[in-house]
A and B are shown apart, each in its own frame.
Chain A
Amino acid sequence: MPTPSLEADQLSKTWPDGTAALAGVSLTVAPGETVALVGESGSGKTTLLRMFNRLAEPTAGTVRVEGLSVAEADPIALRRRIGYVPQDGGLLPHWRVERNVELVPRLLGWDAARRRERAREMLELVGLSFAVHAGRYPAELSGGQRQRVSFARALAADPPILLLDEPFGALDTLTRHELYRQFLDLRARLPKTMVLVTHDLGEACRLADRIGVMQRGHLLQLGTAAELRERPADGYVRELLG
């Protein structure tokens, strides 16, 4: 068995006020696999996601990325090897599209020509025209376009892992379905390990290989859509898939 891309081992996190955000969650994601985390807000899915790139620290337990404990890794170097797409794109409003896409390559010290070439490639990959969009500011784009730029930015330095925090959450239905198609297309072409946080079970079933259902800091069940449907671990999962 190859080394898992991502491993969560008995992760717990307790907020200062005593409530548990995570209570002993374990999970492994294989290379090239897409796992969706679904659950209501406050279920701990985002907290779990943020532990993979050390935006959040567990109170107990271990996170490993490509076999190495992240607690011992330099968080800055770690994050530069992991792509990240938040709900609203998180583009820097004072930077043009091209510069946004070049963010991580720039941090890694790539030269200008290589950065520009890469930005062009990435924008075309997500279905935007470099000539038209590279010089625009985020505020000059539609919500869907911003999200595409955010994907292009996350992919720019070719990271093996992508963390996606409700990346389609703020889009209208039409745009969302168009981006689903694009996402599946990308997935087929680029072998990335991905964790997708969403509150939309349909989206999870459509986009992910396996689905983890979370509730109040616990991972209730982890399996394919079919497994979840056939053998729900408990009433909550059954009801969710109902």
Chain B
Amino acid sequence: MKTPRLLLLLLLLPLPTRAAETGRIVVGSKNFEESRLLAEMFAQLLEERTGLQVERRLGLAGTQICFEALKTGAIDVYPEYTGTGLVSLLGEKAGGDATVTLRRVRSEFLARWDLWWLAPLGFENSWEIAVSAELAEREKLRTISDLARISGRLRGGFGHEFVGREDGLRGLERIYGLRFASVQPLQQALQYQAAGDRRIDAMDAYTTDARLLRHRLVVLEDDKGFFPPYDAVPLVSGATLAKHPEVGAVLGLLAGAFDEDRMRALNFRLQEKGESEMVVARDALRELGLSNKEGEGGEPESARPAGGLLETFQAERHAIARRTGEHLALSALALLLGLLVAVPVGLWLERHRRGAETVIRLLGLLQTVPSLALLAFFVPFLGIGIVPALVALWLYSLFPIVRNTYTGVRDADPRAVEAATALGMTPGQVLRLVRLPLAAPILLAGIRTAAVLTVGTATLAAFIGAGGLGEPIVTGLQLADTNLILSGALPAAALALVVDGVLGWVERALRPAGLDIRR
């Protein structure tokens, strides 16, 4: 059904103009259900109503990464919230109602970055503070001020982003005088579990989150008006609109299309029924009369199956194969680039010993930077996707290879090296025929370490949209779906073992004979 019509469409279209330039648009989202769902709706709508080829970069790790990606042109559009734009991105204080807030972010974003806030989607997804229904009942909690009264006895469990943001916990503590007995930063999906099990007493939540109901949580009134209005709006770059003005018009169809109840119902299908955003988005667009596509099964890899691990693997097998391929390609490329640089650097350092220890120590220092931080570090410069991931993985691979090349060649049997020199080998011959072969076992061990490290770290690349086996891990963490997490984690672990095994074999095969003989 879909294919013939698409073909027809292609035949009817004046092809040259469509294909001209990059007739391609990239839709991004943050890594929670609602953001993914809205982005998926943008994507489907654009696919259906424009001739653009749409690429999805869903589940990017947080506001900063999405925002930087938009600024650098790595993505063209993503759903953002006005309050987040005001406080988090502009660094201004909350104040004023929804209209004032929208007006403010609109003018500032246009002036500073040529980024356009289009028409609001009609619902607000504010931050709320939620507590269990029993606690609210027992302690007569109605407002956040009430909570502040007893917060010294309570355990808080908040999202990572909420803990760090000025319009999050820090501001809240200052304005309301909240002082929790303990504050635990948690993944969003885990927050609900912890609150449901009553292992935390208070948490941050989104207005439209369907899980509040299931875990019998109630939200407290923001009686001091601390949280700014958080209207959901498509945020688009001006450059994209200039090139493809139809994007603005098509996304305008979603203006005022949702209210909080409708959004909560859609989130419920994602969060509680485990449906894929692809299906839910299509249904939502159809209900709005914006799509007339038949609702006949989404792509198999995005439908989230209920049931056991085996079913998940069965359903995800194509996706797993594709992601394994991506993962391996990303790791292999990073490692290859690492080799091309690290081996010559190691050899060079061995010839110029003076700076060697310093350089190696600096590279070692780089290893102590948490992988995710290193990945995120490059987003402002390199955008999102493969390139920053490649650079970060490449940097990680350098240290083990440089260090082992250096020490391996440096410590190669000095008597053999001297004899080879004394008998008339050129320095190049000494290196090629003596030092490198003698360093081979150590050098190969370094490469093996780097390879396993790279394969492991590459799972984090999904946080910045580089795909690979981290993808289901990131999504699974979001949805607290253990099977989905395992569908990424198990193949990743297996891949690491295989790579380690293969390189172990290579190491033994390439190890010069004569070095293992013990008399």
Contact = CB atoms under 8 A, between A and B. Distances in A.
Nearest to B517: A139
Contacts of B421: 55, 79
5 contacts: A55-B418, A83-B423, A90-B418, A103-B423, A139-B515
Given A79-B423, A107-B425, A137-B513, A94 B418 contact: no
B416 A92 contact: yes
B424 A93 contact: no
B124 to A, nearest CB: 72
B514 interface: yes
B256 interface: no
A148 to B, nearest CB: 15
A53 to B, nearest CB: 6
B503 interface: no
A150 B418 CA distance: 13
Interface string B496-516: 000000000000000011110
B424 A79 contact: yes
Nearest to B438: A94
Nearest to A83: B423
Interface of B: 413, 415-416, 418-426, 429, 433-434, 437-438, 512-515, 517-519
A84 B513 contact: no
Contacts of B512: 93-94
Interface string A51-93: 0010100000000000000000000111110011010111111
B426 A140 contact: no
A95 interface: yes
A138 interface: yes
A153 interface: yes
A84 B434 contact: no
Given A89-B415, A93-B413, A94-B515, 9 more contacts: A77-B424, A79-B424, A80-B424, A90-B416, A92-B434, A93-B515, A94-B512, A107-B425, A163-B422
Contacts of A94: 437-438, 512-515
Contacts of B423: 79-80, 83-84, 103-104, 107, 153-154
Interface string A98-127: 000001100100000000000000000000
Contact of B415 (A77, A83, A90): A90
A222 B159 CA distance: 87
B455 to A, nearest CB: 30
Given A92-B434, A107-B424, A140-B519, A84 B514 contact: no
Contacts of B515: 93-94, 139
Interface centre among A55, A91, A96, A153 (most CB of B within 10 A): A91
A142 B370 CA distance: 52
Nearest to A93: B514
Contacts of B418: 55, 86, 90
A104 B514 contact: no
Given A76-B426, A107-B425, A107-B429, A92 B517 contact: no
Contacts of A95: 514
Nearest to B514: A137
Nearest to A140: B517
A139 B519 contact: yes
Given A137-B513, A139-B519, A90 B438 contact: no
A190 B428 CA distance: 33
Interface centre among B416, B429, B438, B517 (most CB of A within 10 A): B416
Contacts of B438: 93-94
A142 to B, nearest CB: 8
Interface of A: 53, 55, 76-80, 83-84, 86, 88-96, 103-104, 107, 137-140, 150, 153-154, 163
A215 B415 CA distance: 25
Contacts of B519: 139-140
A137 B517 CA distance: 8
A86 B514 contact: no
Contacts of A107: 423-425, 429
Nearest to A107: B424
Nearest to A165: B422
Nearest to B516: A139
A86 B438 CA distance: 19
Contacts of A91: 416, 419
A55 B430 CA distance: 14
Contacts of B514: 93-96, 137-139
A152 to B, nearest CB: 12
What 6 A-B pairs have minimum CB-CB distances, sorted nearest first?
A: A90-B419, A94-B512, A80-B424, A137-B514, A79-B424, A139-B517
A95 B422 CA distance: 17
Contacts of B426: 76
B282 to A, nearest CB: 64
A218 B425 CA distance: 31
A150 B420 CA distance: 11
A83 B433 CA distance: 19
B177 to A, nearest CB: 69
Contacts of B437: 94
A55 B424 contact: no
A86 B423 CA distance: 11
B420 A53 contact: no
A50 B515 CA distance: 28
B424 A86 contact: no
Nearest to B420: A92
A76 B413 CA distance: 21
A129 B433 CA distance: 26
Contacts of B518: 139
B422 to A, nearest CB: 4
A94 B438 CA distance: 7
B481 to A, nearest CB: 53
Nearest to B518: A139
A79 B517 contact: no
Nearest to A86: B419
A153 B425 CA distance: 14
B419 to A, nearest CB: 3
B441 to A, nearest CB: 10
Nearest to B434: A92
A90 to B, nearest CB: 3
Contacts of A154: 423
Contacts of A89: 415, 419
A105 to B, nearest CB: 11
A104 B426 CA distance: 12
Nearest to A163: B422
B9 to A, nearest CB: 66
B515 to A, nearest CB: 6
Contacts of A53: 422
Contacts of A80: 423-424
B281 to A, nearest CB: 62
Contacts of B425: 76, 103, 107
B415 A79 contact: no
Contacts of B517: 137, 139-140
A77 B424 CA distance: 7
